[in-house]
Homo-oligomer: A and B are copies of this chain.
């Protein structure tokens, strides 16, 4: 594996490759070419080849990549193998749905617990603990948590974020539709549904106009 500096655009495409490689139909051969992968995902083959070259050096001319190895290389690159412990703030419906979503473990994410100002239960259906916000600081310190997931209403997100940073969190996954102000060394990744909706809505508007 060749860990060069990787751009965000490349990084964002990698999970798609892994997902496909893992789920792909058995072709009889243990190898897969960048070309085949590109076709399956509707992407340009040069782009796929370049992306793969960033994270693996197992590509062999005429043959392609050994599927198993390629999966391992990308997963290692993405850090799926060493799990990250996270806490979630806000145990509303969305929060609980995410908490109980088992798929995250595949990506190396382990949500330890949720915190809420007024917990409606002390655990989710799947048994993940839900604590009162008062416990946040001590829990984070004890468990050396470095990632926080924010699923509180927009109005409280910044305040929660500040508190998380004080707890030593280095990365925030933000589901609240607001911009969060943070110091330079903290990363905020916004999961912004409004953004997706804007793209969809624009497409539909364009289609409507066409039809007329």
Which residues does A use to contact B, with CB under 8 Å? Answer: 6, 8, 11-12, 14-16, 19-20, 23, 40-42, 78-80, 84, 93-94, 96-98, 100-101, 103-104, 107-109, 146-147, 154-155, 170-171, 173, 177-179, 181, 185, 187, 189, 191-205, 207
* Number of this chain's copies in the complex: 2
With A78-B202, A79-B202 in contact, do A194 and B15 touch (Cβ < 8 Å)?
A: yes
Task: Say whether chain A's binding surface is mostly helix, strand, loop, or mixed.
Answer: helix
By the criterion CB–CB under 8 Å, are A187 and B170 in contact?
no
Q: Measured between alpha carbons, how far is A178 from B24 in the docked complex, in Å?
A: 11
By the criterion CB–CB under 8 Å, are A93 and B103 in contact?
no
* A79 / chain B contacts, CB cutoff of 8 Å: 201-202, 204-205
User: How close is A100's CB to chain B, nearest CB, in angstroms?
Assistant: 6
Which residue of chain B has the shortest Cβ distance to A40 in the bound complex? B179
A-B contact pairs, 30 of them (CB 8 A): A6-B202, A11-B199, A12-B199, A14-B198, A15-B177, A15-B197, A15-B198, A19-B154, A23-B178, A42-B181, A78-B198, A79-B201, A79-B202, A80-B201, A93-B96, A94-B97, A94-B98, A104-B193, A107-B193, A107-B194, A146-B204, A146-B207, A147-B204, A171-B200, A173-B196, A173-B200, A189-B196, A189-B199, A189-B200, A191-B193
